[in-house]
Amino acid sequence: MASPVFQSCAHHPDRRGFALCMSCRKVVCQECATTWDGVNHCRTCLESRGAAVLSRKRVRTWVGCAIFCVAAFAMTARGLAWSAAMLARLW
Partner 1 sequence: MTEDGALGLIDDAADAVGRLPEWVGLLWLTALPARLLLAFFCIRLIQLGSDAVHSGDWARRIAWLLLVAWLASLWGRQVFVRACRHAFQSERPASRALLRVPAREMAGHLAAALAIEALFWALLLTFVAPPFLLLAAGLAAPAAPAGGPGPLDSLREVWRGVGPAFRLIRLLILFGIAVPIAALNLHFFAHGVLWLAGGIASLDVTGWDGVLALANPAYAVLLFTGACLLLEPVWLAALTAHVERVRARGTGDDLRRWFAELRVGA
Chain residues binding partner 1 by CB under 8 A are 61-62, 64-65, 68-69, 72-73, 75-91
Q: Count CB-CB contacts under 10 A for residue 42.
A: 24
Query: Of 78, 66, 15, which is closest to residue 42 (Cα–Cα)?
Result: 15
Nearer to partner 1, 30 or 76 (CB): 76
Contact 35, 45 (CB under 8 A): no
Nearer to partner 1, 39 or 86 (CB): 86
State in angstroms the smallest separation of the CB of 78 from partner 1.
7
State in angstroms the smallest separation of the CB of 51 from partner 1.
18
Q: Calculate the CA 26 to chain-centre distance.
A: 23
State in angstroms the smallest separation of the CB of 46 from partner 1.
24
